[in-house]
Structure 1
Amino acid sequence: MSNITVMPDRSAGTPATPAGRERRRQRRPRKPINTQFRTAVSPHQLNTTRGRIIYWIVLVIVVVSFTAAFVFPLYWMVTGAMKSTEELNAIPPTFLPSHFSLDGYLEAWDLLGLGTLLGNTALYAGGAWLLTLAVDVSAAYALSKLRPALGKVVLALMLSTLMIPPMVIMLPAYLTVKEVPIFGWNLLNTPWAIWLPAAANGFNVFLLKRFFDSIPRELLEAAEIDGASPGRILWSVVIPISRPILGVVSILTVVNVWRDFVWPLLVLPDSDKMSVSIGIASLSSQMPQNVLVASLVIASIPTIVVFFLFQRHIMAGLTAGSLKG
């Protein structure tokens, strides 16, 4: 008969069973958890009554201060046009007009011919917007989905233009518009002098390409199986789901053309074809100060309207395509 040696249990009386091992683990002293917060105020302090009061006071002060810093210049401009020239130049300044009057706005509209200037600028901005969408969307779609030969080289050359200061290429661009290579056309005093440079925007192509890269390839392949051509896929599939980024490109294009000053001053010397920024600057020395301020308010209204129309697409379009899931 063989001798069987039974090893004693080390648990000091606790049977060597799963329940016993669990009880041994529970008896072991646990190390204290050292919770560290990398913030100026810990969440425990914020949960107190004093912490909540301080938090809301700081939040309100910061929000009100930043809002006032951005809104106050607009408020000063709008109310300044309602004052007389003497009240506008008074020291100390008055925050409210002594007599609310819209005469400054009416004089600005009549004396500066803002109707013609705004019409010209709307023509330039609208044409630049349409041509930009046609050219940049097609280029971005080709680089993203069609992937032609040397596509990466073309994209790199487009992005390299963003590293060049605009003033450096001002003279070559002017000479190109004055006499278009090969064709020999003179585009000065024509809307094409504004439209063509606006459409040649590498930043817009980059934004659109990043968004198109996030579109699933399977979606386009399903359209190809149904017999859709690349142009049909772009028009019926890609553009409808690209509204956020198209809104961003639209607002950037319209605002850039509307507020541009140096380039329209070079290529639109005719007074009948001036944009609103050039027209106001050319007549500013002959106008009373309150009328000048009123003209600036009227000229800024269209860009504000465009912003409110496309504001919900701005953040959605800028962040679209940054993550793929």
Structure 2
Amino acid sequence: MTTREYGPRTLLSHTQLTRGRGPAVYWTLLIAIVVIFTLAFIGPLYWMVTSALKTGQEVAQTPPTLFPADPDPQNYIDAWNNLTLGKLLFNTIYYAVGALLFQLVLDTAAAYALSKLRPIFGNVVLGAMLATLMIPAMVLIVPQYLTAIDLPILHISLLDSPFAIWLPAVANAFNIFLLKRFFDSVPQDLIYAGIVDGAGPLRILWSIILPISRPILGVVSIFAVTAVWKDFLWPKLVEPSPETRTISVGIYAFAGGTPQNVVIAAAVIAAIPTVIFFLIFQRSIMAGLTTGAVKE
């Protein structure tokens, strides 16, 4: 008998799962684990959405209520108007889209060069980039800020400029590594076929590599957008003007004199675009991270 006739191998054998108390124990543990992890992930979201419908007194009530006694959608309207969320959302989307475009162009080019063009000392460069992942982000804040207020060679300030967010976002060793690993899995025969047809490196990248790289490009897009959207400290330092703030910095700036339920409503509104973006690209996450990981 081959393994295929018995089905895939698992930690528990087929006999253990079908005899005695095996099925009852299995389903009990499975349901318990699913419920626990569902509550762990969905619980905070449910609390945030329902708290935005409560009064300020009910939000501060101990113990908290599971559902608002008198749901009031007016909190969302107040959050939108009082915290100027429209302007803050526009700024954040602008920064996120710019960072995404810069990363898709420059990080893809860097990964393609390291994977397929294989320049001299390419492994050294890749190793140096990966070594930066070992450096805590907080350690880089001061040198990055000093660079932003006095850009070397040009000697200009990037404060209140979108480039203060876009340029640091491009230096993303993790995304370059993900792209390189995916490009490594592209069969070399396709590259040779393009060379035989007279295609140069740029044409090979555009016509051969990118069309089959949509899954990993979707993953990089999610990482790029969410990184800008959720970042707080760096935008607070380099975008100090009220006209250029991101939504996380803007909500924090207005939170001092705003009722807590309105602030929570603003947080819900701020989370909606990222949830929509994730739902659009969710299929690309596992496809991009696993494609090329296992060779046949």
Query: Structure 1 length as normaliser, TM-score?
Result: 0.85
Cα deviation 1:142-167 (Å, max 9, x = unaligned): 01101111111111111111111111
Structure 1 letter corresponding to 2:275 = I
C-alpha distance in structure 2 between counterparts of 1:47 and 1:53, whole Å: 9
Instruction: Assess, with a 3 A threshold, how the Cα gap between structure 1 residues 147 and 42 changes in structure 2: closer, same or farther.
Output: closer
**Deviation, structure 1 residue 275:** 0.3
1:276 pairs, out of 229, 237, 247, with: 247
Structure 2 letter corresponding to 1:266 = L
**Deviation, structure 1 residue 56:** 1.6
Structure 1 letter corresponding to 2:242 = S
1:187 pairs, out of 158, 180, 185, with: 158
**Deviation, structure 1 residue 285:** 1.1
**Deviation, structure 1 residue 198:** 0.2
Instruction: Assess, with a 3 A threshold, how the Cα gap between structure 1 residues 48 and 142 changes in structure 2: closer, same or farther.
Output: same
**Deviation, structure 1 residue 133:** 0.6
Matches within 5 A, 1:295-306: 295-306=266-277
Q: Which residue matches 2:29? A: 58
C-alpha distance in structure 2 between counterparts of 1:266 and 1:104, whole Å: 29
C-alpha distance in structure 1 between counterparts of 2:63 and 2:135, whole Å: 45
Check if 1:261 corresponds to 2:235: no
3-state SS of 1:238 partner: helix
**Deviation, structure 1 residue 290:** 0.5
Q: Which residue matches 1:199? A: 170
Structure 1 stretch displaced more, 257-266 or 46-55: 46-55
Structure 2 letter corresponding to 1:95 = L
Cα deviation 1:261-306 (Å, max 9, x = unaligned): 1100111111110000000011111110110110010111111111
Check if 1:123 corresponds to 2:109: no
Check if 1:318 corresponds to 2:289: yes
Check if 1:135 corresponds to 2:112: no
Q: Which residue matches 2:257? A: 286
3-state SS of 1:271 partner: coil
3-state SS of 2:71 partner: coil
Task: Answer 1 or 2: higher relative contact order, Cα 8 Å, separation at least 6.
Answer: 2
After TM superposition, what 4+ stretches of structure 1 lie above 4 angstroms from structure 2?
A: none
Check if 1:101 corresponds to 2:72: yes
Structure 1 stretch displaced more, 260-269 or 167-176: 167-176
Check if 1:225 corresponds to 2:196: yes
Check if 1:210 corresponds to 2:174: no
Q: Which residue matches 2:208? A: 237
C-alpha distance in structure 2 between counterparts of 1:235 and 1:38, whole Å: 42
**Deviation, structure 1 residue 42:** 5.7
Check if 1:78 corresponds to 2:49: yes
Check if 1:92 corresponds to 2:63: yes
Instruction: Assess, with a 3 A threshold, how the Cα gap between structure 1 residues 287 and 154 changes in structure 2: closer, same or farther.
Output: same
C-alpha distance in structure 2 between counterparts of 1:166 and 1:59, whole Å: 38
Where structure 1 has 5 or more consecutive residues not aligned to the other structure, the ranges are 1-36
Coordinate RMSD, CA, aligned: 1.6
Structure 1 letter corresponding to 2:181 = R
C-alpha distance in structure 2 between counterparts of 1:197 and 1:302, whole Å: 23
3-state SS of 2:130 partner: helix
Structure 2 letter corresponding to 1:260 = D
3-state SS of 1:273 partner: coil
Check if 1:163 corresponds to 2:122: no
Which structure shows the higher helix fraction? 2
C-alpha distance in structure 1 between counterparts of 2:294 and 2:21, whole Å: 40
Structure 2 letter corresponding to 1:122 = I
**Deviation, structure 1 residue 46:** 2.5
**Deviation, structure 1 residue 185:** 2.2
Q: Which residue matches 1:14? A: none
**Deviation, structure 1 residue 51:** 2.6
Q: How many residues align?
A: 288
**Deviation, structure 1 residue 58:** 2.1
C-alpha distance in structure 1 between counterparts of 2:275 and 2:13, whole Å: 41
Structure 2 letter corresponding to 1:218 = D
C-alpha distance in structure 2 between counterparts of 1:46 and 1:170, whole Å: 53
